[in-house]
Amino acid sequence: MSEYEQAIKTPIADGGMGWYAIDQQEIDAVTRVLKNPKDLFRYSKNSECFRLEKTLTERLGVKFALFVNSGTSALACCLSGFGIGFGDEVIVQAYTYIATASACIEVGAVPIIAEIDESLALDPADVEKRITPYTKAIIVTHMQGVPGRLAQLRTLAKKHGLYLIEDACQAIGSTYHGKPTGVESDAFAWSLNYFKNITCGEGGVFFTNNDAGFLGGYFQSEPAGMMWENAFDFGASDMHDFAKGCYRANEISAAVARVQLTKLDGMLEKTRGLKKILLSELDAPKNYALQHADDTDGECGTSCAIILNDSQTYEPFKTELAKEGLNLGAAYSAAFPDRHIYKYWNALYYKGADKPHNYPWNRDGATNPHYDREMCPRTLDILSRSLRIAIHPAMTPQNMKEIALAINRADGRV
């Protein structure tokens, strides 16, 4: 009897996004900075940081970009920029990196956890149910390069007079109906950590179109804010607040980030092209639906998630995929406690119980919502049925065809 011919025959090359694209250009950029140690100063007139920020504002058509040390810091700038802090609630989604919630804690606000839907980002209907008189902002996270339901969230934020902030840390380069993701909200954040579409090792960018919002966010990032605020061509301010943390970025990271930015479009052209091939090869689904995207042309193409119709299908579907050589697990499964799921954010349930001064819930006058590990059952249900294929530029059209064949065969047999 001849051996069964699996769908997956071609090995998937090792690869990734930004880190994988690093070559002599980044090395040269770092060397250039180090050969002239005077250039290590972040606030020199022609600094790498300023040049990166200028390129970003021009590229995205946004008024302000501030390069900082991480995506978490950039999110804290987004919040602080609009005066969000102690006594305020911020709605974040139950499926995002814990850092989205950490940024709220950083500025003294309390995160309120809301359900996701099949967009794998905030469910606008659930957000509305969780709004209280304390709510000041909504943060939507665009998971794995796919922008969430921005149109509905904008309407909702407007209706309730809330700030809308976008955590675009995983969606650098995405667009939403033709505009760079983020630019139509009050503020948005990128991360340039190792895992992101472009990287400089660690880094982040805070973006806003709002003058006062930028200044407030800048003061969140720089203890000597009043010494350098004019460096941003911003003019003198009458900012009387104490500046807060120090999220200052550095020239070496900025030099790397500037090179990486020149590679972004090329990488995304590849991932988007690959995803289109994968989708075009899929038969009409029987047991699953694709992750919802408001604008499929705008997503990064770095991920393809399928959501099974019901939980009973999960084990048989997974088994059939494995028979085809494709090993995929659900985003939420006992096998791996994914820290992108609220259930595993232990800090939420502990609430800094023995550190009463350090955490916003424990202070007089704070809002103190109840959290529990089952509070977003819909999120857990959706993620327990979601299987994700990560796509990177070193993959090939043949890989996409084989993955699609594996899915088609599994779907046909279950």
Ligand X SMILES: Cc1ncc(COP(=O)(O)O)c(C=O)c1O
At closest approach, how far in Å is the CB of 285 from ligand X? 27
Applying CB under 6 A, does 169 fall inside the site for ligand X?
Answer: yes
Q: Considering beta carbons, is residue 39 or 338 the nearer one to ligand X?
A: 338
Range in contact with ligand X (rule: CB under 6 A) among 155-163, 191-199, 279-287, 315-323: 191-199
- Residue 99 backbone phi and psi in degrees, to 5: -60, -25
Place of tokens 């990287």: 199
Q: Considering beta carbons, is residue 99 or 293 the nearer one to ligand X?
A: 99
Residues 6+ apart with CB under 8 A from 226: 237, 239, 243
Applying CB under 6 A, does 122 fall inside the site for ligand X?
Answer: no
Place of tokens 């090869």: 281
Pairing mode, strands 64-68 and 110-114 = unpaired
* Per-residue interface string for the shown chain with ligand X, residues 71-90, x marking contact by CB under 6 A: xx------------------
Q: Considering beta carbons, is residue 170 or 408 the nearer one to ligand X?
A: 170
For ligand X, which residue of 47, 93, 100, 302 counts as binding (CB under 6 A)?
100
Pairing mode, strands 187-191 and 163-167 = parallel
The residue type of 176 is Y
At closest approach, how far in Å is the CB of 414 from ligand X? 32
Q: At what angle do helices 99-106 and 71-81 cross, to 10 degrees?
A: 50
Applying CB under 6 A, does 167 fall inside the site for ligand X?
Answer: yes
Q: Considering beta carbons, is residue 253 or 408 the nearer one to ligand X?
A: 253
Q: Which residue is nearest to ligand X (CB)?
A: 71
At closest approach, how far in Å is the CB of 22 from ligand X? 17
Applying CB under 6 A, does 70 fall inside the site for ligand X?
Answer: yes
* Residue 226 to residue 215: CA distance in whole angstroms: 10
For ligand X, which residue of 175, 191, 197, 408 counts as binding (CB under 6 A)?
191
For ligand X, which residue of 111, 145, 204, 213 counts as binding (CB under 6 A)?
204
Contact 165, 188 (CB under 8 A): yes
At closest approach, how far in Å is the CB of 45 from ligand X? 27
Applying CB under 6 A, does 282 fall inside the site for ligand X?
Answer: no
CA nearest 171: which of 190, 154, 153, 157? 190
At closest approach, how far in Å is the CB of 139 from ligand X? 9
Q: Considering beta carbons, is residue 141 or 208 the nearer one to ligand X?
A: 141
Residues 6+ apart with CB under 8 A from 334: none
Output the CA torsion 153→154→158→164 (10° steps).
80
Contact 186, 207 (CB under 8 A): no
Q: Considering beta carbons, is residue 205 or 406 the nearer one to ligand X?
A: 205
Three-state secondary structure call for residue 27: helix
* Residue 126 to residue 149: CA distance in whole angstroms: 12
Applying CB under 6 A, does 99 fall inside the site for ligand X?
Answer: yes
Give the residues lining the site for ligand X (CB under 6 A): 70-72, 96-97, 99-100, 141, 167, 169-170, 191, 193, 195, 204
